[in-house]
């Protein structure tokens, strides 16, 4: 199963432990929109809140490209504040895990 497929499955199942297992210990997560950067542990605590909220929804997702070094996907997300965004996700991979994740988001009207 590809990393994209595993990532999609844990998101759909709201499996926090499975999601966090896909993230490398030395990972850096970057929000392009705000410039905020997070470690794996910081990101994991945020993931608990996101996956625990039924209004945090991945409406649709598609894999743009994936190989052993990079994963690029495009998603439409709905959030607890009733906003929606188109999100580009770029993940650099190391040893089958995400070592760097960066998102770029565009608000949808």
pLDDT one-digit tens code per residue, 7-53? 999 999 999 999 999 999 999 999 888 889 999 999 999 999 999 99
Q: Which CATH entry fits the domain spanning 3-108: 3.10.450.50, 1.10.287.980, 3.40.50.620, 3.40.640.10? A: 3.10.450.50
Query: What are the residue ranges spanned by the domains of the chain?
Result: 3-108
What distance in Å separates the CA atoms of residue 93 and residue 71, rounded to the nearest whole number?
7
- Measured CA to CA in angstroms, residue 63 lies from 41, 72, 77 at distances of 26, 6, 15
Distance CA 87, CA 50 (A): 15
Check residue 53 and report its DSSP letter. -
> Which pLDDT score is estimated for 64?
98
Find the DSSP H helices in the chain: 3-13, 16-21, 40-52
Write phi, then psi, for 98 (nearest 5 degrees). Answer: -85, 120
pLDDT digits (tens, 9 = 90+) for 44-84: 999 999 999 999 999 999 999 999 999 999 999 999 999 99
pTM of the model: 0.91
| pLDDT for res 33 | 80
Is 85:103 a contact under the CB 8 Å cutoff? Answer: no
């Amino acid at each position: 199963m590809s990393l994209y497929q595993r990532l999609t499955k844990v998101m759909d199942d709201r499996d926090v432990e499975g999601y966090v297992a896909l993230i490398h210990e030395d990972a850096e997560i970057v929000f392009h929109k705000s410039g905020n950067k997070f470690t794996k542990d910081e990101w994991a605590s945020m993931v608990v809140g996101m996956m625990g909220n039924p209004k945090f929804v991945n409406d649709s997702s598609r894999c743009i490209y994936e190989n052993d070094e990079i994963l690029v996907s495009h998603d439409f997300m709905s959030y607890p504040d009733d906003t929606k965004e188109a999100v580009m996700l770029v993940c650099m991979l190391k040893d089958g895990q995400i070592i760097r994740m960066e998102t770029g988001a565009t608000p949808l009207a």
